[in-house]
Amino acid sequence: MAVVKMVTTLPGDWKEFEVGEWAHTLVENLAVACIQIERIRSMYRWDGEVTSEDEWRLMMTTTTEKAPILAKLIEKESPYDTPQVTWTTVDASDSYSTWTEEVTK
């Protein structure tokens, strides 16, 4: 069976509790089964300039059915003008796939 792993980022100047609250809302609203949160350093081009900033990376696990809904939710709720919203479908054990489906219903 398969699950979807979706990734987004949030500003590095957010406090850990702010990131936690943002993520908690997604879990509470059954959009995701779980979220891993980590601090990262990102380098990217924005407005014609190369920028490097601290960010928070959130890797979320959801179902194939919920992925488009989650993507739209992230785009709506993100503080970024153009948020990172990427995902891939990955193979997962039957038990993990079943758990993901059960907790996002």
Report the 3 state secondary structure along 42-91: EEEEECCEEEEEEEEEEEEEECCCCHHHHHHHHHHHCCCCCCCCEEEEEE
What pTM did the predictor assign? 0.93
Write down all domains in the chain, each with its CATH number in brackets. 2-103 (3.30.70.120)
- Mind listing the pLDDT tens digit for each residue in 94-104? 999 999 999 99
Q: pLDDT tens digit string along 35-86?
A: 999 999 999 999 999 999 999 999 999 999 999 999 999 999 999 999 999 9
Question: Residue 2: beta bridge partners?
Answer: 91
41: left (phi over 0), alpha (psi -120 to 50) or beta: beta
**HSE value, Cβ hemisphere, 13 Å, CA-based, for 98:** 3
User: Could you tell me the pLDDT band of residue 1, with boundaries at 50, 70 and 90?
Assistant: confident
